[in-house]
């Protein structure tokens, strides 16, 4: 077992839950700042339901809730 493996194994489980939730929240937050022109690049119109930023956040929310409450 390498030193990194030993260190990772020694961490408590709450550290991994916090890391997973943090990655999902930061990723969802980053998606919100993608410019509109990029989001609607190939869309035939700019209707709200075609906004991929919205769908990325909607899809991430259940994962955040699962990781946060089922620890």
Structure tokens at 11: 């961490």
Residue 33 domain-assigned? yes
The parent domain of residue 41 ranges over: 12-69
**What predicted TM-score, i.e. pTM, was given to this entire model?**
0.71
Residue 3 domain-assigned? no
Structurally, the chain folds into a number of domains equal to 1
Average pLDDT per consecutive 10 residues, the chain (71 residues; last block may be shorter): 87 88 92 90 87 91 88 70
State how far the alpha carbon of 18 is from the alpha carbons of 55, 60, 64, in Å.
Answer: 23, 15, 10
Task: Say what the pLDDT of residue 13 is.
Answer: 87
Task: Say what the pLDDT of residue 12 is.
Answer: 93
Residue 7 domain-assigned? no
Q: Kindly tell me the burial class for residue 63, based on how many C-beta atoms sit within 10 Å of its own C-beta (0-12, 13-18, 19 or more).
A: middle
Residue 54 domain-assigned? yes
Residue 1 domain-assigned? no
């Amino acid at each position: 077992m390498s030193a990194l493996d030993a260190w990772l194994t020694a961490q408590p489980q709450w550290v991994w839950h916090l890391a997973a939730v943090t990655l999902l929240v930061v990723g969802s937050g980053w998606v919100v700042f993608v410019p509109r022109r990029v989001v609607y690049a190939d869309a035939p119109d700019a209707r709200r339901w075609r906004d991929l930023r919205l769908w990325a956040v909607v899809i991430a929310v259940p994962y955040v809730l699962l990781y946060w409450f089922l620890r």
